[in-house]
Amino acid sequence: MGSFIDVKNISKTFKVNKRAAGVSGMIANLVAPEYEKRQAVKDISFHIERGEMVGFIGPNGAGKSTTIKMLSGILYPDKGDIKVNGYIPYKQRKEYVGSIGVVFGQKSQLQWDLPVIDSFELLKAIYRVPEDRYRKNLERFTDMLDMGSFLNQPVRQLSLGQRMRADIVAALLHSPEIVFFDEPTIGVDVVGKESIRDFIRELNEKDRVTMIFTTHDMQDIEKTCKRLIIIDDGTKVYDGSLLGIREKYGTTRQLDVEFSSRCEIKSIEKVEIRELDHSDGRKKRFVFENKEVQINELMNHLLTNYDVRDINISEPEIEGIIRKIYNGEAS
């Protein structure tokens, strides 16, 4: 048997209009339009097991949205094969759609002028959710996301955080086996983000719902996913654990040091010294590549030559590592 999600060597190319700028370009395009082919996805393969939570990320235009649309059955690949839970999404879309849920952070599936509960009832009818399952899911999710106070409010009156919680529940009422999250916490405040992340983690742990995230908020990934797939320019550049990406690409380390009094630090070879804000010259950050500088030797040098009050070693932030990969700086 294969994995829950099997993606093998998929590619997707689009025909893009080459219209020149200006009125003359518009007229020329009407008379004799020209097109060019642009490959959005290039020979991507990966496998995801049932119950996994995977971050699927990349810079704008990398091909991640195209890949997700092929996984959800909206687009078909030009080459390669996709199978999700035994379905071929683009060939068996009618049967397949009942087993998936989709949450778009910038597009709501709720009816703008109707109360939230009316949208839920409509989705219940569309997906033909049995009454007992619908009631059970509605009560459980409403309680977990603290939605009781606004179920009867029109969607247009909700805050962004409230709407996002309602959209997540809307995608889950029919008990999908896989959920695609696209920017699920965009624009939501800190408290709202944590509430959504806690809910997602609990649902995954208790119900083994397979989840795939596309997001620019690395906190969403770090606090929910153990695995990360990165694509850039249509190709897969990383597939592995968050710990693994730190080990492979996170070669930069930093040492934050508080000295007993204001002091000037003599330059240290291959170490960048930064003054920390509002420290009156007592707190400094030492940034270095762990392949070039031995951290024990650096700490020994500082402790021997300066009056150190406190010292803290920091791992590189995932967001910074991802940025380096996008910029082609990681190796």
Residues in the chain: 331
- Give me the pLDDT at residue 1, please: 58
In a domain, 330, yes or no: no
Count: domains in the chain: 2
* Whole-Å CA distances, 155 to 31, 109, 111, 149: 46, 10, 7, 13
Last residue of a domain, one of 215, 241, 267: 241
| Confidence tier at 52 by pLDDT (50, 70, 90) | very high
Are 59 and 142 part of one and the same domain?
yes
Q: Give pLDDT, residue 328.
A: 73
SS3 content of the chain, % helix, strand, coil (to 5): 35, 30, 35
**pTM for this entry:** 0.79
Does some domain include residue 325? Answer: no
Question: Could you tell me if 237 and 282 lie in one domain?
Answer: no
The C-alpha atoms of residue 19 and residue 3 are separated, in whole angstroms, by: 43
My answer on whether 58 and 143 are in the same domain is yes
Task: Return the C-alpha torsion angle 147, 153, 156, 161, nearest 10.
Answer: -10
pLDDT at residue 318, as a whole number: 78
Are 39 and 82 contained in the same domain?
yes
For 269-310, the pLDDT digits (tens) are 999 998 887 778 889 999 898 888 998 999 999 999 999 999
Residue 84 lies in a domain: yes
pLDDT tens-digit series, residues 69-79 = 999 999 999 99
CATH number where 102 lies: 3.40.50.300
326 in a structural domain = no
The answer to whether residue 290 sits within a structural domain is: yes
Domain match, 154 and 303 both: no
Residue 19 has pLDDT above 70, yes or no: no
pLDDT tens for 72-118 read 999 999 999 999 999 999 999 889 999 999 988 778 889 999 999 99
249 falls in which pLDDT band (50, 70, 90)? Answer: confident
One domain for residues 44 and 138: yes
Q: Beta strand 235-241 with 227-232: parallel, antiparallel or unpaired?
A: antiparallel
Instruction: Identify whether 329 is part of a domain.
Output: no
210, 241, 272: which is the final residue of a domain?
Answer: 241
Please report the pLDDT score of residue 28 as a whole number. Answer: 64
Expressed as residue numbers, the domain containing 11 is 5-241
Q: With 90 as the cut, is the pLDDT of residue 193 above it?
A: no
Residue 183 and residue 46 in one domain? yes
Question: Do 225 and 267 share a domain, yes or no?
Answer: no
Q: Based on the domain organization, do 65 and 100 belong to the same domain?
A: yes
Residues 38 and 106 in one domain: yes
Handedness of CA 285, 297, 253, 223 (dihedral sign): negative
* Banded model confidence at residue 31, pLDDT cuts 50, 70, 90: low
Mean pLDDT across 39-44 = 94
Residues contacting 322, CB < 8 A, separation 6+: 57, 218, 230
Question: Pairing mode, if any, of strands 210-214 and 79-84?
Answer: unpaired
Residue 299, φ and ψ in degrees, nearest 5: -65, -40
Q: What are phi and psi of 192, to 5 degrees?
A: -65, -40
From 186, 212, 241, the end of a domain falls on 241
Pair (236, 257) in one structural domain: no
Residue 178 within a domain: yes
Question: Is 328 inside a domain boundary?
Answer: no
117 plus 221 within the same structural domain: yes
Which long-range contacts does 259-266 make (Cβ < 8 Å, 24+ apart)?
A: 259/283, 259/284, 259/306, 259/307, 259/308, 259/309, 260/307, 260/308, 260/309, 261/307, 263/306, 263/307, 265/306
d(CA 220, CA 201): 11
